[in-house]
Structure 1
Amino acid sequence: MDILRTPDERFERLLDYPFNPHYVELDGLRMHYVDEGPEDAKPILMMHGEPSWSYLYRHMIPICAAAGHRVIAPDLIGFGKSDKPSDINAYSYQNHMEWMQSFLEQTDLQDITLVCQDWGSLLGLRLAAENPDRFRAIVVGNGMLPTGDQAVPKAFQLWKNFALYSPWFPIARIINTGSFRTLGPDERRAYDAPFPGKKYKAGARAFPKLVPVKPDDPASEPNRKAWKVLEQWDKPFLTTFSNGDPITRGGDRYMQERIPGAQGQPHVTLTGGHFLQEDSPVQFANAVNDLLKRMDGENS
């Protein structure tokens, strides 16, 4: 398998991204993660989706760290500063799950608050359901755990075809299109930084085809098993969806109705597109901090 590693100079002097790099080795692949805040504090695990990387959380990380939390933001394999297999077939839902499971075990994170969006939710919600003793709370913004038993929006089908077949796959423009605000040139450079050539984008192109869209897709049954756990989940579960995402619209109400821990939580609708971390980062971070402040107050 041809494994690519983005040159470090691509990440030099990125706007609003002063974080020191940390790495773990996962079966021959190097995964990068941000680790900010007090080392002995309970961690917030911020999981990005496609085609972004931990840069997406750059405005939220300092706010949550300043509130006294340890913030961990990994780059999924194929993204950011993490290694990138060049073969699109190297990426599967199960491989991503195994990579993240290994990451959890190597870092030995406990008492985790999961913050997730997009594919960060498809992986993160499974991760929490399969390791419930490690997680204390979940916050989902513009994300879901699909099983292939529900119809998918037309917008997703269009996106899937574009990712797989378009000869042009402009990472920064995609993120800009999925945000209400217009990214500046330095921000666009940062989103393009992990991908100096077409071969580096295999992981980003692979994700849409891995979403379960039929009941017999490979991930459908494992996701159903995860839902059985989530339907008994009585720990805090907060939704922070945006008001302008055509792909995940309505997913917040669906989860609020099915997950016991969502009952009585102050769910919020933030202003923004699919990438709500770009549009409402302060409000998103404050919702996380407020949830943890309430939890710690109740436990004190």
Structure 2
Amino acid sequence: MQILSYDPKRFADLPDYPFFENWSEIDLGDGHMGRMHYLDEGAKDAPPVLLFHGEPSWSFLYRKMIPILLDAGFRCLAPDLIGFGKSDKPDDPSFYNYARHVDWLKQWRNAVVPQDAALFCQDWGGLLGLRMVGDEPDRFSCVVASNTFLPTGGTPSPAFLMWREFAKSSPEFAIGELLQRATQSERSAAEIAAYDAPFPDEPSKAGARAFPQLVPVEDGMDGIEENKAAWEGLAAYDKPFLTLFGEDDPVTGGLGDQLSGRIKGAEGQPHAMLSDCGHFSQEDRPQELAQGVIDMAHKAGFLA
């Protein structure tokens, strides 16, 4: 197996992404080490907010929310998951599993921002972030979740099964076009190129192809028991918890009520289904999402 590093030339002149590079060394397992790239914008002593992306995006997804959150007084931290963005990419799809992704992200969090933090998570950012909240609820001041869930088996939707099969077997796996199709607003050619930038060839897409296969939506899959255990802490989480879901997402759009209905801190919060908003809600409704984070942080007393 090879650990692939990013080509800086592919990331030149990214639109609306004037952020500095930061790096953290990660023990990938089986004797492999890798570098995780992350954004760290704002004053180091400001209240931190963690911004977790999902499949198959990267921290570029948060370029519209970060300026709003910085103006509100946050320190914004957005990692690129291993296999995505500028982070290193093992080229073997079988190397990726749910437990490793959780461990890699926890390594990053413990090294970079071990203190209490707010969380915004979407897609696999929620499968990882909500697991972390359930495991260590005292480390999160408030949470805003969008188009995500913490699954524990059951029966997957036909839409998800189609996506899982497409990611696994489609000969064409054009990441930028996938982002285009899963948003309601139009991406520019430069934005589509930015989403393609991390993936110059098929080996670099190993993590992106693997992710949908790892979602524990069917009984017996890896991660179900760990997620059930995490749900105990997540359900009891009594700090502000808000769901803002895109109503035009055919895969996860209907999961907002299921998520908010099980979490103590979600009671009485202004949960919303956002119109004209697809799966990648950060592209379609960044202002509303950022404001949700700001409002929850104020409610928690985390943001002055």
> Same fold per TM (> 0.5)?
yes
| 1:248-267 matched pairs, under 5 angstroms | 248-267=252-271
Of 87, 91, 95, the residue aligned with 2:92 is 87
Q: Deviations over 1:30-50 (max 9, x none)?
A: 000001111101211000000
Equivalent position of 1:197 in the other structure: 201
How far off is 1:82 after superposition? 0.1
Q: Secondary structure at the match of 2:274?
A: coil
The letter for the 2-side match of 1:32 is H
Q: Does 1:175 align with 2:179?
A: yes
Q: Distance in 2 between matches of 1:82 and 1:231?
A: 32
How far off is 1:133 after superposition? 2.2
Q: Secondary structure at the match of 2:119?
A: strand
The letter for the 1-side match of 2:48 is P
Equivalent position of 1:187 in the other structure: 191
How far off is 1:250 after superposition? 2.3
Equivalent position of 1:8 in the other structure: 8
The letter for the 2-side match of 1:36 is E
Q: Does 1:62 align with 2:47?
A: no
Q: Deviations over 1:145-201 (max 9, x none)?
A: 0011x3211110000000000111000000100000121101011000111111100
The letter for the 2-side match of 1:11 is F
The letter for the 1-side match of 2:241 is F
Of 156, 159, 163, the residue aligned with 1:155 is 159
Equivalent position of 2:145 in the other structure: 140
Contact 2:143 2:296 in 1 (8 A): no
How far off is 1:218 after superposition? 1.2
Q: Deviations over 1:196-245 (max 9, x none)?
A: 11110000000010011222211000000011111111111100111111
Q: Deviations over 1:246-288 (max 9, x none)?
A: 1112211112211110001111222301011111111111111
Equivalent position of 2:34 in the other structure: 29
Q: TM-score, normalised by structure 2?
A: 0.95
The letter for the 1-side match of 2:24 is V
The letter for the 1-side match of 2:58 is W
Contact 1:6 1:196 in 2 (8 A): no
Q: Distance in 1 between matches of 2:266 and 2:59?
A: 26
Runs (4 or more) in structure 1 with deviation over 3 Å come to none
Q: Secondary structure at the match of 2:301?
A: helix
Contact 1:42 1:110 in 2 (8 A): no
Which deviates the most, 69-78 or 132-141?
132-141
Contact 1:4 1:86 in 2 (8 A): yes
Q: Which stretches in structure 1 are left out of the alignment for 5+ residues?
A: none
Q: Which stretches in structure 2 are left out of the alignment for 5+ residues?
A: 28-32
Q: Distance in 1 between matches of 2:8 and 2:184?
A: 30
Contact 2:253 2:279 in 1 (8 A): no
Contact 1:3 1:86 in 2 (8 A): yes
Q: TM-score, normalised by structure 1?
A: 0.97
Q: Secondary structure at the match of 2:208?
A: helix
Q: Distance in 2 between matches of 1:61 and 1:109?
A: 20
Q: Secondary structure at the match of 1:266?
A: coil
Q: Distance in 2 between matches of 1:265 and 1:106?
A: 32
Equivalent position of 1:74 in the other structure: 79
